[in-house]
Amino acid sequence: MISISNTVLVTLAFALPGLACAASRGRSGGGTSASRPPASRAGAAGGTTAPAEMVEVASAALGALTARKWRLPNGLEVVLVPDPQATSVSYTTWFRVGSRNENERGGETGLAHLFEHLMFTQTKTMAADEFDHAIEAAGGNANAMTYYDFTAYVDDLPPSEIELAARLEADRMTNLDLRKRQVETERDVVVEERLSAVEDSVDGTMDELLFKQAFKAHPYRWPVIGWMKDIKAITQEKALAFYKRFYAPNNAVLIIAGNFDPTATLDLIARHYGPIPAAEPPAPDGAQPERAPAAEVRATLTRPVPADRLVIGFPAPALGDRDRAAFEVAAEILAGGPSSRLNRALVVDKQAASSVRGDVLPTRDPGLYGIWVQMTKGHAAEQAERAIVDATTALATQPLASGELARAIARLETELWQRLSSSHGRAEALGEFETAGGGFQNLFSRAAAYQAVTAEDIKRIAAQYLATEARSIVIVRPKREARS
């Protein structure tokens, strides 16, 4: 199945697995259509009356779901997906800042992820931990996630408490009180998180090295959680500068899904967020898309593991790329679950591996597709490497088995609809596409894009991205104890 893996393996789970997450106290973790933005303000589109200062800029529909996007004068954007049948509301705030916006040359990585923690400390109007307590007292829960291209804050609440979320989120967007003690405390928490998730984690170490050796210049080469030396060097001054630069209404989008009244919700958003001034727009990060790896790169490590482990990273198209849907179908055929080619070859037939999984990243720029294999004792990683190379070559040169394409497409469509079946899943998927996939509308066209994939598309994708010498390989072998 399609999932996400990066250098931060965390303890809290999301529908987007593998994203860097705050470990704050008390938090748990049909047909398509799209319209162009209207030429003037749509005051009552779909029965919704917006405040005079709000402009509707886009809309899209998928089956019974309709999403509309609005903009305030200060630049804040709002995507509403109402569902009268829902039992909750997922109120999410997406800032267009992630680890890609950090300055690695200046020794400033890890700031985007640190803010995931800092945003749950005190503001100028609320005491420390009051945010969590207020959400929990209302019967909701709050969480956050950081990735290469975005940072998101998620509040899942009863429908009656949507104004509470608006008040609290607007407050910490502009009034965060970054005291030296709190910055240092949360910085130390992240140091421990990195120790656990990377230094003391075999998979975390492998994943970090996979990206570091694949990308030569693009910001995806450094981990979302940051390099340890940079995390330890974060100061109150650096945190304040980062907050002022990126945490502003004109660098954010609200994605709200669930049982709520759109007109009333737009009114409360205008009331709570409208007075917040826009900040100076952040300078472009300057990152140029990089097809990585450009050639084969590999590394071999020894760790206290019972058997070999292997991960191979292939170049992958960005989430919003025209090749993305076909690439996901090809990845599903290769390593998308129990019926995939590699699982059958390595786990079922040869019993050379205990698990095979494929991860394709939801990145704004071209990223990596990783195939992870856990070998069984007595079987070397090279056996899996040969099987993967053979499978990608066959995908590029040989016809698909009868029904193989249709089954892969059906599995991906089922996964998509399962994700969109809850308010939380809808808000999260829409936010991912809005910030990294070229716009939320592209989510609503993804099912049709899967259906349009042909056997020839799979051959082309495999030849272009997978059946080449360009791959990043990391092998971990068991550490042999020295004999006396």
CA distance 332 to 413: 11
Q: In 3D, which of 443, 372, 369, 431 has the Cα closest to residue 145? A: 431
Residues 142, 233, single domain; the answer is yes
pLDDT tens digits along 459-481: 999 999 999 999 999 999 998 86
290 confidence band (pLDDT: 50, 70, 90): very high
Decide if 252 contacts 48 (C-beta within 8 A): no
- Residue position matching structure tokens 């995908």: 395
Same domain (yes/no): 471, 347: yes
Residues 322 and 464 in one domain: yes
* Rounded percentage of the chain residues whose pLDDT exceeds 90: 86
Residue where a domain stops, chosen among 258, 273, 288: 273
Average pLDDT score, the chain: 90
CATH number for position 349: 3.30.830.10
Structure tokens at 201: 């984690």
- Based on the fold, state whether residues 233 and 323 are members of the same structural domain: no
Note down the domain range covering 444: 297-478
Residue 7 placed within a domain:
no
> Is 5 within a domain?
no
pLDDT in tens, 63-88: 888 999 999 999 999 999 999 999 99
Please tell me whether residues 117 and 246 are part of one structural domain.
yes
Is residue 24 a part of any domain in this protein?
no
Whether residue 236 is predicted with pLDDT greater than 60 in this model: the reply is yes
pLDDT beyond 80 at 11? no
Cα 154 vs. chain centroid, distance in angstroms?
13
Token digits of residue 173: 């967007």
Residues 344, 265 share a domain: no
250, 170: one domain: yes
d(CA 283, CA 270): 26
pLDDT band at 13 (very low <50, low <70, confident <90, very high): very low
| 375 and 431 share one domain | yes
Q: What φ, ψ does residue 136 adopt, rounded to 5°?
A: -65, -40
Q: What's the CA gap between 427 and 155, in Å, rounded?
A: 10
| Cα 83 to Cα 182: distance, rounded to the nearest angstrom | 39
The separation between CA 328 and the C-alpha centre of its own chain, rounded to angstroms, equals 16
* Total number of domains in the chain: 2
State the average pLDDT over residues 84-108. Answer: 97
Residue 20, pLDDT > 70, answer no
Pair 68, 187 in one domain: yes
Q: Residue 14: is its pLDDT beyond 60?
A: no
How far is it, in rounded angstroms, from Cα 89 to Cα 223? 32
Q: Hey, CA dihedral for 222, 226, 230, 234, is it positive or negative?
A: positive
Angle ∠(29,185,116) on CA atoms, nearest 5: 40
CA dist 77 and 410 (Å) reads: 34
Domain presence at residue 60: yes
Q: Which residues contact 82 (CB under 8 A, 6 or more apart)?
A: 66, 257, 258, 259, 260, 261, 262
Is residue 407 assigned to a domain?
A: yes
CB 319 within 8 A of CB 438: yes
Could you read off the pLDDT of 380-402 as tens digits, one per residue? 999 999 999 999 999 999 999 99
Strand 77-82, strand 252-258: pairing? parallel
Per-residue pLDDT, averaged over 412-435, amounts to 97
Assigned domain for 253 exists: yes
The reported pLDDT for the residue numbered 58 is 95
Q: Of 273, 306, 324, at which residue does a domain stop?
A: 273
342/459 same-domain check: yes
A 10 A CB-CB count for 128 gives 16
- Of the chain, the end-to-end C-alpha distance in Å amounts to 46
pLDDT at 296 over 60: yes
How many Cα atoms sit within 13 Å of 316 on the Cβ side? Answer: 32
Buried b (16+ CB within 10 A) or exposed e, 430-469: bbbbbbbbbbbbbbbbbbebbeebeeebbbebbeebbbbe
Q: Are residues 258 and 324 in the same domain?
A: no
Contact present, 395 and 345 (Cβ < 8 Å): no
Residue 330 placed within a domain: yes
Residue 279 lies in a domain: no
Contact 253, 79 (CB under 8 A): yes
